[in-house]
């Protein structure tokens, strides 16, 4: 599958084991002919989801922060890889906040019945979840 793959690093350690596993997965995608992008969530500045359903009528959250740049990338990706360590019996808070802020996709698909993901991508999109613990 050639296409565009985005790797999201959920670890606060940019050189840790989780980052190395993500790099290997992205290298495999690149070797298969995909264009890749790695995004370190720990370096981004965005707020937690406010659960106010502001995204009910929008393609993006109305909160103005770094998430605004990620929504089009997520929408247009052919594949997504999320890599995270398990910390304190759960995922890091920054990754949890990122996942919560992706509620705009849920609202569009299930409330407005107008998916933000183009129809031609829905059948081919894939995701990989890499999760490690010590």
**pLDDT for position 17:** 95
Beta strands in the chain (DSSP E): 4-9, 35-40, 79-85, 126-132
**Cα–Cα distance measured from residue 101 to residue 67, given in angstroms and rounded to the nearest whole number:** 8
**Coil, strand or helix at 124:** coil
pLDDT at position 101, please?
92
* Full-model pTM: 0.91
How many CB atoms within 10 Å of residue 99?
16
> Which pLDDT value is given to residue 1?
53
pLDDT for the residue numbered 63: 87
Q: What is the mean pLDDT of each run of 10 residues along the chain (134 residues)?
A: 91 96 98 98 93 71 90 95 93 95 90 89 92 85
């Amino acid at each position: 599958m050639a296409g565009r793959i985005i790797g999201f690093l959920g670890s606060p350690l940019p050189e840790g084991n989780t980052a190395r596993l993500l790099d290997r997965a992205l290298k495999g995608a690149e070797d298969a002919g995909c264009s890749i992008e790695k995004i370190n969530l720990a370096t981004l500045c965005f707020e937690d989801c406010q659960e106010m359903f502001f995204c009910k009528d929008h393609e993006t959250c109305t909160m103005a922060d770094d998430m605004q740049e990620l929504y089009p990338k997520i929408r247009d990706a052919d594949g997504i890889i999320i890599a995270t360590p398990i910390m304190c019996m759960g995922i890091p808070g920054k990754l949890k906040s990122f996942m919560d802020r992706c509620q705009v996709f849920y609202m569009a698909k299930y409330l407005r019945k107008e998916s933000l993901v183009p129809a031609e991508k829905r059948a081919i999109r894939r995701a990989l979840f890499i999760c490690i613990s010590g």
